[in-house]
Amino acid sequence: MALVPPHGGGDLKPLLLEGAALEAEKKAAAGYKKLNVSTMAACDCFMMGIGAFTPLDGFMTEADWKGVCADMKLANGVFWPMPVTVSAGDEDGIEVGDKLALYNDEFGGLVATMEVKDKYQIDKEFECKNVYTTTDTEHPGVAKVMEQKKWNLGGPVKVLSEGGFPEEYGDLYAKPAETRALFDKLGWSRVAAFQTRNPMHRSHEFLAKIAVEVMDGVIIHQILGKLKAGDIPADVRVKAINALTDNYFVKGTIVSKGYPMEMRYGGPREALLHAVFRQNYGCSHLIVGRDHAGVGDYYGPFDAQKIFYEIPEGSLVLNPLPIDWTFYCKKCEGMASMKTCPHGKEDRLLLSGTMVRKTLSEGGDLPREFSRPEVVKILQDYYQNLEEKVEIKLHGAATGDTKK
């Protein structure tokens, strides 16, 4: 069987220039207006550059932005669940027709060039209510929207950089064309993606192994972009995940790769965005567990599963692989889920990345059922050497104090 097609019905659409075209555009950029962009906008450029955001050809026009916020559709009718935008202020003096050089110092300077086809004022409350279901600035995704400047700029981009991700992460970093070639080489067509921004605890391991049982293979797909305060940085997470997969998974059943997006913490809408670009990476399924891409108590624990059955048929070729709440059951003496364990709450040890981070950041010990010892050692070393600690708050999805 063949791999699923890229999103939108055509071929992959990488916008990253190479060779002579790259050098020519870099020279041309010296004569363009300069715009400093956020780390999220820069990471969106990298995602467009490698073809992960196929079929986008740049930042969204007003018609695209409105359609995505309200109905999860681009102006041309193609399904798309979250805005991909770049903003500017009056002080930047940018008008329709300008050519821009997009810069971000955290990623080495020049990131991309852009032709401004549209300029429109952002209705931040409209975006936040529709996409994040809240305007509370304690929500990190909402905070990013509220920090944007007055105007959105829409138009095509030419991507000139990968932001140092290939150099920093080596073989872990992968473009959609590369994972597709890898899956073909392995003979995989039914491929499930496991999304993670955290080191994997026993519940994550259990989810991935369920998928291994029913798929040709699983890609553990790690986010490499910027996270919120208190999250474990990518380099530490990579070490922890490697320790787990090297010791507790059968060789040849999984691959571990990373991608350069910045987390939005958008819950159900972000789960759909994860599905869109996983389809571009060649995945036929996305594992959707409890509180996928959520934060705090803004979303119900299974809202990210439900939304896949609420979108119009044909929006995605990729299918969700929904898995119920998982935990360690003392009576079952192993990992289980709500569908497989008949015992009560008092016998269940609920596992969450938030609980792991909170316990270790406060110098506590994790029960052996929480995580593998090789993983715990790496995380303990990280927290012991951390000079500035962030208070980590528990929420309902992390403690089980929420209704299914």
The Cα–Cα gap between 45 and 111 comes to 7
The catalytically annotated residue of 104, 152, 180, 198 is 198
pLDDT score recorded for residue 389: 59
pLDDT category, 351, cuts 50, 70, 90? confident
Q: Return the pLDDT at 55.
A: 98
Please state the separation of Cα 335 from the chain's center in Å. 26
Q: What is the pTM of this model?
A: 0.92
Could you give the CA distance from residue 363 to residue 402 in angstroms, rounded to a whole number? 27
Task: For residue 285, list its beta bridge partners.
Answer: 192, 319
168, two tokens: 């920093």
Please state, as a whole number, how many other Cβ atoms lie within 10 Å of the Cβ of residue 49: 24
Question: Given a cut of 50, is residue 397 above it in pLDDT?
Answer: no
Beta strands in 62-178 (DSSP E): 86-88, 99-104, 109-115, 118-121, 151-159
Give per-residue pLDDT as tens, 94-150: 999 999 999 999 999 999 999 999 999 999 999 999 999 999 999 999 999 999 999
Q: Which residue has the higher pLDDT, 396 or 280?
A: 280
Q: What is the pLDDT of residue 304?
A: 97
What is the structure's pLDDT at 59? 98
What pLDDT shows up at residue 393? 56
Q: Is the pLDDT at 234 greater than 50, yes or no?
A: yes
Q: Looking at residue 14, what is its pLDDT?
A: 98
CB 307 within 8 A of CB 320: no
19-163: which CATH topology? Sulfate adenylyltransferase (3.10.400)
The greatest distance separating any two alpha carbons of the chain, rounded to the nearest whole angstrom, comes to 69
Peptide bond into 81 cis (omega under 30): no
Pick among 2.40.50.140, 3.40.50.12280, 3.40.50.620, 3.50.50.60: CATH of 165-259+265-404: 3.40.50.620
pLDDT at 259 over 60: yes
CA distance 92 to 36: 9
At 43, list the tokens.
């990471």
Confidence of residue 402 (pLDDT cuts 50, 70, 90): very low
Predicted confidence (pLDDT) per residue in 291-336, tens digit? 999 999 999 999 999 999 999 999 999 999 999 889 999 999 999 9
* pLDDT value of position 230: 73
User: Is the pLDDT confidence value at 233 over 90?
Assistant: no
Q: What are phi and psi of 342, to 5 degrees?
A: -90, 0
Residue spans per domain, the chain: 19-163, 165-259+265-404
Mean of the per-residue pLDDT values of the chain: 93
Look up tokens 């429109």; give the residue: 120
pLDDT digits (tens, 9 = 90+) for 63-83: 999 999 999 999 999 999 999
pLDDT tens by residue, 269-289: 999 999 999 999 999 999 999
Of 153, 46, 143, 47, nearest to 98 by C-alpha is 153
Enclosing H/E stretch for 169: helix 165-169
Per the annotation, the verdict on 202 as an active-site residue is no
pLDDT digit string, tens, across residues 177-214? 999 999 999 999 999 999 988 889 899 999 999 999 99
Terminal-to-terminal C-alpha distance of the chain: 37
Task: Count other Cβ atoms within 10 Å, centred on residue 133.
Answer: 17
Q: Choosing from 180, 197, 269, 357, which is the catalytic residue?
A: 197
**Is 190 noted as a catalytic residue in this protein?**
no
